[in-house]
Amino acid sequence: MPEKLRVGFIGLGLMGRPMSLNLLKAGFPLIVWNRTQSKADSVVKAGAMLGRSPANVATRSDVVITMVSDSPDVEQVVLGSGGVPTGVIDGAQRGSVVVDMSTISPAVTRSIAQRLAEKGVAMLDAPVSGGTVGAQNATLSIMVGGDPEVLQRCMPVFQALGQRVTHCGPNGMGQVTKLVNQIIVTGTLSAVCEGLLFGAKAGADLQAVQRAVSGGAANSWQLENLGPRILSGDFAPGFMVKLLQKDLRLVDEAATEMGLPLFTTLIAQQVLRVAANLGLSDEGTQAYIKALEAMAGVQARTPSS
């Protein structure tokens, strides 16, 4: 592979856009594609080339990153759909690498990796944690499944995107690790929201609660980042309710297959269903508290927010 890897980036959403800007900042030649083309404008303005299709991006790249929503979406951009030769697989060179950084099913990951391997193309599953803040600041934690030698080749790319890169095992194990992450995130989110709701019902000053609790043993990423947003009534998405629902569906599918009972996570899944029924699917996951408020008849924010 050449000195500076040519990087392709597919999926310029809340995460993909800042990640692609960080690759440009690190000096990688970058070619991008987004289904809604207008969302690529700002990245092209910053110096990226615009690909005509996922296949065209792959033809012009050594490493192609995908950052789309769900398993069928990765299948669509990587494998193409309905036999139309537009997928990454149709353009990828032998010896190139596809790095899927979306959060999707471990089983689907393994089957895509198999299809790519048949064409001499390697795959890494490399989902991330750290939110849009981590994507902007290049401080993501990256959980990698696949051949460790391929990971080493891609390391300069990962170093431009995150702070911690962990090899978790063969293809699929990056995604398994990410689902562990989501189980823990969901439990913490649920605990933060219940705690704030309890404080509100008891008449506590929630700003004081936030300040005190985040300085002690109950601090967490969720409390530090989402607590202040809840209190100020900021429900704009960093990570959307519907994407956490998708992740918990993936957790539930895998746990059901293994016969593993999961308690807190699956109760939280029902609360998120309430949130979706309240029309909150596109809000940030901090809107979890709105579902609890609706069920408990308590408001944990100022009435206007």
Nearer to ligand NAP, 77 or 206 (CB): 77
Q: How far apart are CA 237 and CA 284, in angstroms?
A: 4
CB of 283 to ligand NAP, least distance (A): 12
Q: How far is CA 222 from CA 130, 159, 182, 225, 283, in A?
A: 10, 24, 12, 5, 15
Mark whether 290 is an active-site residue.
no
Interacting residue ranges for ligand NAP, rule: CB under 6 A: 11-16, 34-36, 39, 67-69, 73, 76-77, 102-103, 128-129, 131-132, 238-239, 243, 247
CB of 177 to ligand NAP, least distance (A): 12
Nearer to ligand NAP, 11 or 174 (CB): 11
Q: How far apart are CA 250 and CA 304, in angstroms?
A: 35
By beta carbon distance, the residue nearest ligand NAP is: 13
CB of 163 to ligand NAP, least distance (A): 14
Among 19, 60, 49, residue whose Cα is nearest residue 160? 19
Nearer to ligand NAP, 15 or 154 (CB): 15
- Tokens representing 201 are 């019902």
Q: How far apart are CA 295 and CA 289, in angstroms?
A: 10
Nearer to ligand NAP, 90 or 206 (CB): 90
State whether residue 17 is helix, strand or coil: helix
Nearer to ligand NAP, 51 or 206 (CB): 51
Catalytic residue among 45, 178, 201, 242: 178
Phi, psi of 146 (to 5 degrees): 135, -170
CB of 140 to ligand NAP, least distance (A): 8
Q: How far apart are CA 111 and CA 181, in angstroms?
A: 22
Q: How far apart are CA 287 and CA 280, in angstroms?
A: 7
CA gyration radius, the chain: 20
Torsion of CA 251, 255, 261, 265, to 10 degrees: 0
CB of 76 to ligand NAP, least distance (A): 4
Beta bridge partners of 169: 145
Catalytic residues: 178
